[in-house]
């Protein structure tokens, strides 16, 4: 029976080998030092045991010996630190051309949505040989997205987007867990990551596609909330900041600071519009906290991103509208 148990879990991503190699190095080093320490304890316990006629004598220190047992462990620990930092940095910097998939964690399930509009529950389908970037957020408490075969784990937080990426190497099905205790049914918050060949993935994706993409869903939410009455997406200026070309660029605030219009900034702009006021606009935008769900927020994000290909306002900064001085003549945030 024992010969059927693998020494290591299967490696399903390019990241897994780096983690395993570092783990083996840590095991070998700590194991070697453990054996060395216990061996020396045994030797000294026998050699310097209490015996009739023997009296303990004072042993003077040696600077060379002290430097040796200080510098050698320090050097080994620095190797661990640099190696671990390199593995960590590789895991938190997704390639620019990675395909995007969006995840919402909630008690007690994983909700997955592809840009094409395909939605999954406790399942994630991806093509083999592609870099995949997950943008994740929690609807309630802290969760943790964990795929052991990929050696990846990332906390999924309420109120803030976190990202995770991987490059699957072998087609197959892999376990997906929540690695953060999140409530009564935490142990049931499990799923499956299915890695498919590119052709199989395209067939699956088109076979499960809905009527609209995340961009069209976001545009519909944008219209339903009446956002277009203040925020224009063309080259004209409304009472709120122009959204054309804003995402991914610097926005000038009324306090003279600038902020990058990324996912977390746009989300904050919708739920807490008074947190950062765009220069030249009045704080008239109402909060949509409790009105827009996390799923809708992700779709809105995709729609606003789609406007980034349009011409950006001069210098990448928002200018004041012509009716700024009138009542209600400005808006402070990107909606």
CATH number at residue 260: 1.10.760.10
pTM, 2 dp:
0.78
Whether residue 94 is found in the same domain as residue 226: no
Report pLDDT digits (tens) over 69-114. Answer: 899 989 999 999 999 999 999 888 899 899 999 999 999 999 999 9
Tell me what pLDDT residue 312 has.
52
Beta strand segments in the chain, E: 99-106, 109-113, 119-121, 123-127, 132-138, 143-147, 152-156, 162-166, 172-178, 190-196, 250-252, 258-260
Mean pLDDT of 276-295: 83
Q: Which domain holds residue 227?
A: 214-316
Give the count of domains, the chain: 2
Whether residue 204 is found in the same domain as residue 227: no
Report pLDDT digits (tens) over 203-253. Answer: 998 888 776 888 888 888 888 888 877 877 666 666 778 787 788 888 888
- Kindly tell me if the per-residue pLDDT of 38 is higher than 50: yes
Report pLDDT digits (tens) over 111-165. Answer: 999 998 899 999 999 999 999 999 999 999 999 999 999 999 999 999 889 999 9
Mean pLDDT of 49-59: 76
Q: How confident is the model at residue 330 (pLDDT cuts 50, 70, 90)?
A: very low
Whether residue 247 is found in the same domain as residue 206: no
3-state SS of 246-266 is CCCCEEEECCCCEEECCHHHH
Whether residue 25 is found in the same domain as residue 132: yes
d(CA 147, CA 107): 18
Whether residue 220 is found in the same domain as residue 133: no
Whether residue 281 is found in the same domain as residue 177: no
Mean pLDDT of 242-270: 84
Task: Determine, yes or no, domain membership for 282.
Answer: yes
Report pLDDT digits (tens) over 293-307. Answer: 888 889 988 888 888
Whether residue 189 is found in the same domain as residue 111: yes
Q: Which residues lie across from 112 on neighbouring strands? A: 103, 120
Cβ-Cβ contacts under 8 Å for 267 (sequence gap 6 or more) = 161, 297, 301
């Amino acid at each position: 029976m024992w010969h059927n148990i693998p020494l290591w879990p299967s490696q399903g991503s390019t990241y897994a080998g780096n983690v395993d190699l570092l783990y083996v190095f840590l095991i070998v080093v700590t194991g070697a030092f453990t054996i060395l320490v216990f061996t020396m304890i045994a030797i000294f316990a026998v050699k310097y045991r209490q015996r009739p006629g023997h009296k303990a004598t004072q042993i003077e220190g040696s600077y060379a010996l002290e430097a040796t047992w200080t510098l050698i462990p320090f050097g080994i620990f620095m190797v661990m630190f640099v190696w671990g930092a390199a593995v960590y940095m590789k895991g938190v910097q997704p390639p620019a051309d990675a395909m995007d998939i969006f995840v919402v964690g909630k008690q007690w399930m994983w909700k997955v949505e592809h840009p094409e509009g395909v939605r999954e529950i406790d399942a994630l389908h991806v093509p083999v040989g592609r870099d995949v970037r997950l943008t994740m957020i929690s609807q309630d408490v802290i969760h943790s997205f964990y795929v052991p075969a990929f050696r990846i784990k990332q906390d999924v937080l309420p109120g803030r987007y976190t990202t995770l990426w991987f490059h699957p190497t072998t087609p197959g099905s892999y376990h997906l867990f929540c690695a953060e205790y999140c409530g009564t049914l935490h142990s049931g918050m499990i799923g499956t990551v299915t890695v498919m060949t590119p052709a199989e993935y395209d067939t699956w994706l088109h076979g499960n596609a809905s009527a609209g993409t995340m961009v069209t869903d976001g545009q519909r939410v944008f219209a339903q909330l009446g956002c277009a009455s203040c925020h224009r997406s063309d080259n004209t200026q409304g009472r709120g900041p122009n959204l054309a070309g804003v995402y991914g660029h610097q926005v000038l605030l009324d306090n003279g600071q600038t902020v990058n219009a990324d996912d977390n900034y746009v989300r904050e702009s919708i739920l807490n519009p008074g947190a950062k006021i765009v220069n030249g606009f009045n704080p008239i935008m109402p909060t949509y906290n409790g009105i827009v769900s996390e799923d809708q927020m992700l779709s809105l994000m995709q729609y606003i991103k789609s406007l980034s290909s349009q011409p950006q306002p001069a210098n990448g900064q928002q200018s004041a509208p012509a009716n700024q001085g009138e009542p209600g003549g400005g808006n402070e945030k990107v909606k």
